[in-house]
């Protein structure tokens, strides 16, 4: 076997860099590859992450660095790493050692059996209950609504054949949900269960707003269900109002009841106003995405590339 590439996005990981590097390096040494490259993508860290990485490059020529001009986000960092890697086999993992690098050898056996994508499925998450529930809920909703099957409880930790990476790289879309795109590519894919460790050191870098963006990207990039939902709402409400209108006309001509009607009018106006705003918001999500795509901006700006 020829070359294995690792893509590791890093953002403010000064406490983890050295430990991550040495554990990854040891794990790689036990694998039957002639060559290896470890690509760290520095997603605009302002701490000592980049200087530490440069120290590592000086002693190990298999390490490469892509450094962004600012923080572009984890999915974009992964995308940049995938663009530049040249391995026959490519692995994506986190720098905080939540994804055990020793697991790569297990993934590799599946790849040898002919699977083009081997992704890790989290059986246990050592995180707080609110976060675990949110994740579990999100993946289940996504699986229901998505136009293609996206496996439950899987993140970006995976091993891919270079064929899959080439297809991922050929996709120009900007708001990337990498684990979804990976499923979209197809070929033979398999998940293997693992226990996700705790973050080795430091704070979580995926803050709540970033997680929400990820969830929205996943949902809206892989499903048109929200749009259909607005049509459905529209149909239900207009049938109801048709019936309501008929009743009103009948009442007027039969003289049974002459309504004062202030409250009911207000309720209807509020209700319809709410539904219309939701519908506009949902359409706005898609329009915003179209706008992002037509602007044709590059997905990220590289400040420095080292050792390529
Ligand atoms: N990360 C990144 N850019 C960001 C946020 C996170 O490159 O804007 C990296 C981070 O350094 C780590 C990985 O993405 O290597 C996962 O982040 P984190 O551990 O904070 O999130 P988790 O997935 O564990 O919730
Ligand atoms: Mg983590």
Residues 177 and 84 in one domain: yes
pTM metric for this prediction: 0.83
How many structural domains compose the chain?
A: 2
Residues 80 and 98 in one domain: yes
Residues 82 and 110 in one domain: yes
Q: Which of 19-28, 75-84, 87-96, 199-208 shows the lowest mean pLDDT across its residues?
A: 199-208
Residues 195 and 154 in one domain: yes
Residues 276 and 302 in one domain: no
The reply to whether 91 falls in a domain is yes
Closest CA to 36 of 44, 45, 27: 27
The reply to whether 178 falls in a domain is yes
CB 66 within 8 A of CB 57: no
Confidence of residue 232 (pLDDT cuts 50, 70, 90): confident
Confidence of residue 114 (pLDDT cuts 50, 70, 90): very high
CB 203 within 8 A of CB 221: no
Residues 20 and 131 in one domain: yes
CA distances from 133 to 38, 191, 200 (A): 33, 21, 22
Q: What is the pLDDT of residues 137-156, one digit of tens each?
A: 888 888 888 888 888 888 89
Residues 235 and 194 in one domain: no
In whole angstroms, what is the distance from residue 66 CA to residue 221 CA? 27
The reply to whether 215 falls in a domain is no
pLDDT value at position 209?
A: 86
pLDDT value at position 1?
A: 67
Chain centroid to Cα 211, Å, comes to: 9
Strand runs labelled E in 29-183: 35-42, 63-68, 89-92, 117-125, 154-161
Confidence of residue 275 (pLDDT cuts 50, 70, 90): confident
Residues 232 and 196 in one domain: no
* 259: pLDDT strictly greater than 70: no
The reply to whether 119 falls in a domain is yes
CB 49 within 8 A of CB 13: yes
pLDDT value at position 47?
A: 93
pLDDT value at position 267?
A: 79
Residues 231 and 143 in one domain: no
Cβ neighbours of residue 116 closer than 8 Å, sequence gap 6 or more: 160, 161, 163, 164, 187, 188, 189
Cβ neighbours of residue 58 closer than 8 Å, sequence gap 6 or more: none
CATH number at residue 34: 3.90.550.10
The reply to whether 158 falls in a domain is yes
The reply to whether 209 falls in a domain is no
User: Ligand nearest 134 Cα, by number?
Assistant: 1
What's the mean per-residue pLDDT of the chain?
Answer: 89
Residues touching ligand 1 (Cβ under 6 Å) are 9-11, 13, 43, 71, 73-74, 77, 94-96, 98, 199, 204-206, 210
Ligand 1 atom 22, closest CA: 206
Provide Rg for the chain, Cα atoms. 25
Q: Which chain residues have CB less than 5 Å from ligand 2, an ion?
A: 94, 96, 98, 199
Residues 195 and 247 in one domain: no
For residue 109, report the distance from its CA to the centre of ligand 2, in Å.
25
Residues 84 and 69 in one domain: yes
What's the domain range around 134?
3-203+298-306
Residues 24 and 48 in one domain: yes
Report the pLDDT averaged over residues 31-44: 94
């Amino acid at each position: 076997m020829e070359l294995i590439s690792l893509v590791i996005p890093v953002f403010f990981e000064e406490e983890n860099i050295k430990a991550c590097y040495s554990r990854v390096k040891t794990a790689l040494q036990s694998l039957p590859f002639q060559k290896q490259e470890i690509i760290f993508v520095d997603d605009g860290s302002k701490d000592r992450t980049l200087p530490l990485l440069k120290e590592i490059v000086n002693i190990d020529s298999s390490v490469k660095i892509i450094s962004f001009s600012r923080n572009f986000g984890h999915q974009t960092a992964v995308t940049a790493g995938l663009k530049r890697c040249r391995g026959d086999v490519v692995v994506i993992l986190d720098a905080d050692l939540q994804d055990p690098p020793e697991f790569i050898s297990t993934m590799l056996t599946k790849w040898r059996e002919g699977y083009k994508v081997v992704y890790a499925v989290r059986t246990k998450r050592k995180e707080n209950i609110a976060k675990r529930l949110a994740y579990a809920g999100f993946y289940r909703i996504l699986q229901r609504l998505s136009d293609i099957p996206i496996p439950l409880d899987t993140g970006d930790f995976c091993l891919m054949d270079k064929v899959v990476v080439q297809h991922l790289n050929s996709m120009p879309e900007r708001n990337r949900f990498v684990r979804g795109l990976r499923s979209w590519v197809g070929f033979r894919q398999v998940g293997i269960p693992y226990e996700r460790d705790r973050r080795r050191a430091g704070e979580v870098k995926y803050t709540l707003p970033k997680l929400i963006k990820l969830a929205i990207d996943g949902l809206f990039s892989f499903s048109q269900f929200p749009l259909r939902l607005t049509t459905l709402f529209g149909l239900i409400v207009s049938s109801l109002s048709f019936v309501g209108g008929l009743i009103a006309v009948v009442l007027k001509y039969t003289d049974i009841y002459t309504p004062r009607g202030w409250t009911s009018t207000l309720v209807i106006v509020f209700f319809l106003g709410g539904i219309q705003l939701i519908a506009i918001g949902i359409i706005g999500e898609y329009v915003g995405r179209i706008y992002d795509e037509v602007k044709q901006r590059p997905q990220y700006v590289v400040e420095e590339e080292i050792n390529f």
